[in-house]
Amino acid sequence: MTEQFRGLMAAFPTGVAVVTTFGQDGEPWGMTLSSLSSVSVDPPTLLVCLRYSSPTLDALARTGSFTVNLLHHEARPAAELFSSGDPDRFRQVAWERPTSLGGPHLVDDAHAAADCVVDHMHRTGTHVVVFGKVHTVVHRSASQPLLYGLRRYASWPQIA
């Protein structure tokens, strides 16, 4: 059943994001995800799903805030980097601290970012669903989003 489920989800195209946060020592953490959803407009709330064993989840839970960086169509290298587990990933991308709560903003790779405060979390199987109340949104460009489906990256098709 697990492989059938993976095949089902691979056939569902979605946008690509990198969720970021800071550890208690100020060290940046982050990981690629495609499990992102808008929950509510009032109050603005997002949900993200992170692996239970993720060090990013551990840092996020301790600090209570995170940022969702929505990647643009030319940010495939960043998506792959943040899904690789490379411990030096933040030395390989441009990022900046948010003006208030949240995690690193990927300034060259994200077309938009949402800084969130953890509202609550719920563990389900291998993952934890994190609900975050959005307190700041930053739009960096009008670039097309990076998409992922059928186990490959793509960009939004141009419509003539």
Query: What mean pLDDT comes out for the span 16-31?
Result: 96
pLDDT confidence of residue 33 = 94
CB-CB contact of 153 with 76 (8 Å): yes
pLDDT confidence of residue 97 = 95
Number of H-type helices and E-type strands within the chain? 3, 12
Q: Give domain 17-138's CATH number out of 3.40.50.10490, 2.60.40.1730, 2.160.20.60, 2.30.110.10.
A: 2.30.110.10
Residue 86 neighbours by CB distance under 10 Å: 12
The larger pLDDT score, comparing residue 13 to residue 19, is at 19
Answer left, alpha or beta for residue 138, where phi above 0 means left and psi between -120 and 50 means alpha: beta
The larger pLDDT score, comparing residue 93 to residue 5, is at 93
CB-CB contact of 46 with 35 (8 Å): no
CB-neighbour burial class of residue 45 (10 A; exposed 0-12, middle 13-18, buried 19+)? middle
Query: What mean pLDDT comes out for the span 99-105?
Result: 93
CB-CB contact of 149 with 12 (8 Å): yes
Domain ranges of the chain: 17-138
pLDDT confidence of residue 160 = 54
The closest of 18, 1, 23, 38 to 89, measured between CA atoms, is 18
pLDDT at 159 over 70: no
Residue 100: band (very low, low, confident or very high) from pLDDT cuts 50, 70, 90: confident
pLDDT tens for residues 61-86?
999 999 999 999 999 999 999 999 89
